[in-house]
Amino acid sequence: MNLDVAPLKKVSLSKQVADQLQEAILDGTLKADDRLPTEEELGQRFQVSRPTIREALKRLAAKNLIRSRRGPTGGTFVNHLDANELSDSLSTASTLFVSMNDISLEEVSTCRKELETLCFQLACDHASNDDIKNMEIALNTQEDPSISPEAFCAADVQFHRAIADATGNRMLSFVMYSLIEGLQPVANMIAYHYRAREVIINQHQRILENIKERDTNTAISVLHEQIDYLSQLHNEAQSNHQQKG
């Protein structure tokens, strides 16, 4: 294995080791299922102690970049990078940004409107029967009046994720997962006390019918109607919260 290492600085040695190994994974020097050198070998290459190497490996494991296996054929191996796992990590980070007010809900709405407009354009062109079925399943769940607000929001996420999948563009779907699953639930849970489910359900019914009919312009028009409606509810929620405070 040809693994070149750069000289290390005196600060955060474990992070520097982890960063170099991560870069080797991302640039393809270390490929999926490759076995990493032992802790002792890595320590010699980087000229650091084994505890430093262990800490660096923990950092990589926390990012799901590597896995460990015991036994005669064991060791530390490079993971396959699963899109759903990476999206979950990005979604978690997005949720934290919003909850800590580093990203405003106005920015969320603008981002969602621009990206989902593109999704709707592609979905109207490429949606398969399976994609339509997934949208219908999510919509049927939302139409159940007995479900909880959390379940209603989960079905909302499922509906919009199905539209992202219908684009046929895996990179766009990956980006949309972080928006839909990371940011949209935050917006939904803020708004659910103030919104009428019937409005959202009606909007989703019209969106679904327009996608079935390949009516891109009308589908996008309903999307914008929904985003504007949710933005209005967010403003009402924030106003009521401030008055109570």
Quick one: CA torsion of 121, 132, 229, 192, rounded to 10 degrees? -140
pLDDT in tens, 42-85: 999 999 999 999 999 999 998 888 999 888 888 999 987 665 66
* Distance of alpha carbon 224 from alpha carbon 114, whole angstroms: 10
Are the beta carbons of 142 and 134 closer than 8 angstroms?
no
Q: What is the pLDDT of residue 209?
A: 98
Burial of 141 (0-12, 13-18, 19+ CB in 10 A): middle
The pair of structure tokens assigned to 102 is 């580093």
Express as a percent the part of the chain with pLDDT over 90: 49
- Which range, of 10-14, 57-61, 137-141, averages the lowest pLDDT? 10-14
Determine the Cα–Cα distance for residues 219 and 229; give it in Å rounded to an integer.
Answer: 15
The reported pTM is: 0.67
Contact 78, 34 (CB under 8 A): yes
Sorted by where each starts, the structural domains of the chain and their CATH numbers stand as: 13-78 (1.10.10.10), 83-244 (1.20.120.530)
Contact criterion met (CB below 8 Å) for 199 and 232: no
CA distance 18 to 59: 7
